[in-house]
Amino acid sequence: MDGPAAARDFCALTDGYGRRIDYLRVSVTDRCDLRCSYCLPKDFKGFETPANWLTHAEMARVISLFVALGVGKVRLTGGEPLLRRGVADLAGAVAAMPGVTDLSVSTNGTQLARHARALRAAGVTRLNVSLDTLDADAFNQITGRDCLADVLAGLGAARDAGFAPIKLNSVVHAATPQADVRRLLDYAISQGFVLRLIEPMPMGTCGQGMRHTDLNALGATLAAEAGLVPAMPAAGRPLGQGTGTHAGSGFGSGFGLGFGAGSGPARYWTAGHGAPVLGVITPMSRHFCAACNRVRLGVDGTLYLCLGQEDQVPLGRMLRAGATDAALTRAILAGIAAKPERHDFLAQPDRIVRFMAQTGG
């Protein structure tokens, strides 16, 4: 996937606030086989009509336009991306694009055991897997399905296929038992995974009734109990202590770690050997919008400029109406220029009516 150094350094996508947009998250489907309480209502049926889904060829075309503009990091997500047939073929097409330096997949893990080797062979290097508990009953309560064993089998298959790092994304709120989180951390350490604790966001009707807990304090407590220390970026200061472009916000960007952390907003702790073990992501209590470097492409080709705003560009409709690559590129550039400064989840928690699975997590 590595292209020339000049291609990796180039990025034409800079928004009106000076943020360089070099990361595209692509929802390959809005369907999911779980109904996590913070993501999709159990009775939700408002999915996009399959006829409106971009084909893999159409997705690859749009992705290639972003890559030509300097996007080097691409993540395939959903919904649950492994429910879409041929996702490994799409991954292979993206991995082969000159200039793509990082290709990853977000998944709930239920289908991962069957697809891990194909994804790795296609060129995917990193995985994020949703896992909120190791208690089977609690897992069933959160997700609506009794399939924890399938997720754990998928994680084992992914590790055996050579994925590294594998990040476990765990949504944590005030009602989450701390013992469950500690058990997840012990599991992550034993398996060589990275556990990331994430605040829920109020998208659709999901997440709006969840009370937040102080993830910084929880992370620090868990880190102390496990003998972890703050991860250090290249500058030699703990991540979250004024590093990166959002100095003073309390969160580091993840740059400079050298372990394939990606470009995310997590604050990390490590066992002292450099590779992170535990992270926290706090989009609500301490947002990191000043360092946002990403946009999202929905399964229908809608370009979402911010999770917490409704600003969007109908690239899919334009494409199917016969738009040329030049016209699509102009629309992308105009959209990025108008990217909102930040989300309004706190000021207007009921504003975003679309669910996370519809946007692409």
Strand partners, 27: 77
Residues 21-27, mean pLDDT to the nearest whole number: 96
44: its two tokens: 């939700």
Fold of 23-39+50-231+264-358: TIM Barrel (3.20.20)
Measure the CA dihedral 180/184/186/189, to 10°.
-170
For residue 244, what pLDDT is reported?
A: 34
Amino acid at 152: L
Whether cis (ω within 30° of 0) applies to the bond prior to 165 is yes
Burial of 149 (0-12, 13-18, 19+ CB in 10 A): exposed
For residue 343, what pLDDT is reported?
A: 63
Whether 5 has a pLDDT exceeding 80, the answer reads no
User: Tokens 């972890």 appear where?
Assistant: 228
Residues 340-359, mean pLDDT to the nearest whole number: 63
Look over the chain and give the mean of its residue pLDDT values, rounded to a whole number.
Answer: 84
Residues 100-125, mean pLDDT to the nearest whole number: 98
User: For the chain, what are the domain ranges?
Assistant: 23-39+50-231+264-358
pLDDT tens-digit readout, 165-223: 999 999 998 889 999 999 999 999 999 999 999 988 766 666 566 667 888 899 999 99
Confidence label for 2 from pLDDT (cuts 50, 70 and 90) = very low
For residue 113, what pLDDT is reported?
A: 99
**CB proximity list for 261: less than 8 A, separation 6 or greater:** 165, 254, 255, 268, 276
Phi, psi values for residue 133, rounded to 5°: -165, 155
Length of the chain: 361
83: its two tokens: 């429910």
Residues 162-167, mean pLDDT to the nearest whole number: 95
d(CA 1, CA 94): 9
User: Where is average pLDDT lowest: 64-68, 97-101, 259-263, 345-349?
Assistant: 259-263
pLDDT tens-digit readout, 227-286: 999 987 544 444 443 333 333 322 233 333 333 344 567 789 999 777 899 999 887 666
- Distance, C-alpha 160 to centroid of its chain: 22
For residue 36, what pLDDT is reported?
A: 80
- What is the percentage of the chain residues whose pLDDT exceeds 90? 63
d(CA 345, CA 352): 8
pLDDT tens-digit readout, 294-322: 999 999 999 999 887 878 999 999 999 99
Phi, psi values for residue 68, rounded to 5°: -65, -25
For residue 234, what pLDDT is reported?
A: 44
